[in-house]
Chains A and B, each alone.
Chain A
Amino acid sequence: MTNRSASACLLILSLAPAAAQVSYEQMLKADPGNWLTYSGSYNSQRHSLLKQVNTTNVHALVPKWIYHVPGAGRLESVPVVVDGVMYLSQPNEVHTLDARTGRLIWQYRREPALRRGPNRGVAVYGNRVYFTTPDAYLVALDARTGNFLWQSKIAEAKEGYWSPAAPLVINGKIIAGVAPGDYGMNGFLDAYDASTGERLWRWNAIPRPGEPGSDTWAGDSWKTGGGDTWLTGSYDPQLNLIYWGIGNPAPDFNGEMRKGDNLYTECMVALDADTGRLKWYFQFTPHDVADWDAVEIPVLVDATLQGRPRKLLVQANRNGFYYVLDRTNGKFLLGTPFVKSVNWAKNLTAEGRPILVPGVEPSLQGTKICPSTSGATNWMSPAYNPDTGLFYVAAIEGCGINTKSYEKFRPGGFPFDATGYEESPEEPRQLYVRALELTTGKLKWEFKQIGSRAYGAGLLSTAGALIFAGCDQGIFTALDANTGTPLWHFNTGQAISASPMTYTFKGRQYVAVEAGSNVIAFALFDE
């Protein structure tokens, strides 16, 4: 481009409205009328202050519209809503809707498309929509029209990398992660300039020889260590720390091939948002051999614990334990099982390290491990309601039979599991919604999702004292946040694997959820 035409182009850009559609200040405030990030707010509490729909009137909740995503399988994204415009994604696609009517405004489809899923959502900042792709790119689109603006290559898809998580926007930076550690690809977390797509920093989840933590990998095992970043994390603006859960070590099921604690797999890490430097880490499952990942959403809560006010980070981990950490320094404060099916650890030490039960590890002939590899919970988002002081989680009871082998790593994007698992026929999976006391982890109530033997949906909490939950049976349910009593339900007709969200437009509150290949928005019946 010549200088002359470049300046003409700048002139055109300067004529566009200067007002940014979504600003960092808006994201800090987490305006309840909008749903601006994957988890609704930086603290990932998934608690909306909206209460037009509440325990007294939720029985009158009716579907207002259904949008079918053509060709979609099971959607797993969480829509973002900005001023009545809804942005949702499936792999390689973004669909933008009028959030009041479900009518399509624009859609973007990436071609040619590498088929791989799921995609868990978009980020919106300024007048741009960001999403990551099955071929491991970060893509920026114009939020008004879906025009393609730029893309940045996160990682080499030919090596096996891809990127399913919704990016997180932090003050002009786009934070994006990768998958899959299961292929022996080493994970990392990146920050990109929201305007240009230039990479600003990268934090490597597997330390290289000589770096702190490298002594937790025997021999060259760090080279194929895994540790991916496949689910969106949280952010504390005061501490300027990003909290992100790190995936499993590879090979998944044979620990002999990677002796040591295998840092920073199975960790919660706190990274400086400006530099990507590691501030602290906490490892939930050192030397994991059950492929549990520790990517589950970190929920940030300020609460009094052990007699003093603290900045907490809580996580219901796939390994079956509920953890409470001090998010300023990563110190372990409390840990207790939130499922009954835990057979691999007797308890946790005062530092939070599991006290292992000998022999509960994958074997050549198969060993029962509880929870199952599919986990005591998984990508399904939890929620926290400050009014009830309860932490809500989609919990799964059940066990798996795990086997191991001595598979060799193959470069080029092949599974490096060293064998696998199947659900135990004796203890099949059973889905629950469980409410735990935030500061003790004690069970306050539970709601059994009868008939559900697979992954379910995440949870939404509202100031209307409601918890919205879904399951693989397709039933979308509103529960009383204090008691777990079901107050309303709707059969969506397709399995629900995504987490619900809520927003307002022109005075009306909507609750939306992706069910199978549809998005459905509910509101109170219009008399």
Chain B
Amino acid sequence: MLFQVLRWTAAGLLLASASTAQQQPEQSVNPVGRSEEAIAEGHELYNRTCTVCHGLNGAAGDRGPALGGGRSYVIRSDNSIFDAIQNGISGAAMPASGLRPMEIWKIVAYIRSLRATASDAFVPGDIARGERIFREKGRCGSCHMIGGHGGVAGPDLSNVGGERTLASIRDSLTKPRLQIPRGYQPVEVVAIDGRKIAGIAKNNDNFSLQLLDSQDRLQLFTSDELREITYKRESLMPSDYGTVLVPAELQDLLAFVSRQVVHKAERRRRTQEDDQ
């Protein structure tokens, strides 16, 4: 869901961003591009030729590292990955593959896609129309901020394209979420004086509750001030954009959201939960 921040990718992203933040986003030299078709073909080639050592679907194998997990693979350029597959890695067990160049490029596209965030992915669609859908038909802006404008009930999406994969953003829009992330749990409370307040639990424990109410005001309670606390099972994030929007509109929205990246100066905070 859009709420989820892929915290585990953060360290890798920071490394990746360090090399690109000073410049324009890296232009791929890969002649097969980053299309879903090329990635699918690369995936198939990968599973046929690389899994003996590296494991299936980019996971760790018996003899080689997990290409989907190691952060060093994220910062390798397309050329260096191509070179490793074509010529092997001197001094390591990685042999020359013997594959044809175009096959290798497809595998490169696949490896890159394993850890690519949405902003690195090929996302067709009309960005301007996607922004209008974000603000108007989709009403995303009533809960989410981008670039300092929008609502505060949901996470700020200014850097979502730099944090989330395309697949996870699409899932957020179209599939019910299984778990509501910390800080966005919908809750309704009844105070001792009978007042009913609905909102989002920014934090909670046995003895207190910090709530952002439906008027976007912070309300702070200790448990003895509350008669009832009801945690809602469903996130406030709608999961029906697959039906509310026609496919072209959804694609435009994805194109817009995927490109929300804040370069160097304002990269989203790293691992909030790890540090709490």
Contacts and interface: CB of A to CB of B under 8 A. Distances in A.
Interface in A255-295: none
Given A70-B275, A112-B18, A147-B148, A105 B128 contact: no
B87 interface: no
A106 B208 contact: no
A111 B141 contact: no
Interface residues of A, number: 39
Contacts of A1: 131
Contact of A70 (B131, B141, B217, B276): B276
Interface stretch (B29-37, B54-62, B185-193, B264-272): B264-272
B184 to A, nearest CB: 10
B205 to A, nearest CB: 7
B83 interface: no
A103 B203 contact: yes
A70 B131 CA distance: 37
A318 interface: no
Contacts of A105: 202-203, 210, 218
A363 interface: no
Given A5-B136, A9-B135, A144-B212, 20 more contacts: A2-B131, A5-B132, A8-B132, A8-B136, A12-B149, A15-B142, A16-B151, A17-B215, A85-B218, A85-B220, A98-B220, A101-B220, A103-B210, A105-B202, A105-B203, A105-B210, A108-B269, A142-B152, A144-B217, A150-B148
B276 A111 contact: no
Interface string A87-119: 000000000001011011111111110000000
Interface of A: 1-2, 4-5, 8-9, 12-13, 15-17, 70-71, 84-85, 98, 100-101, 103-112, 137, 140, 142, 144-145, 147-151, 505
Nearest to B217: A17
Interface string B140-153: 01100100111110
Main secondary structure of the interface of B (DSSP, over half): mixed
Nearest to B267: A111
A305 B276 CA distance: 53
Contacts of B275: 70-71
A148 B156 CA distance: 8
Contacts of A85: 218, 220
B240 interface: no
A96 to B, nearest CB: 9
B21 interface: yes
A65 to B, nearest CB: 10
Contacts of B215: 17
Nearest to A104: B203
Given A8-B141, A16-B216, A112-B18, A103 B205 contact: yes
8 contacts: A2-B132, A16-B152, A85-B220, A108-B269, A111-B14, A112-B17, A144-B218, A147-B148
B265 to A, nearest CB: 7
A150 B132 CA distance: 22
Contacts of A140: 148
Contacts of B264: 112
Contacts of A17: 215-217
A107 B212 contact: no
**Which 4 A/B pairs are nearest by Cβ-Cβ distance?**
A109-B269, A70-B275, A111-B267, A149-B148
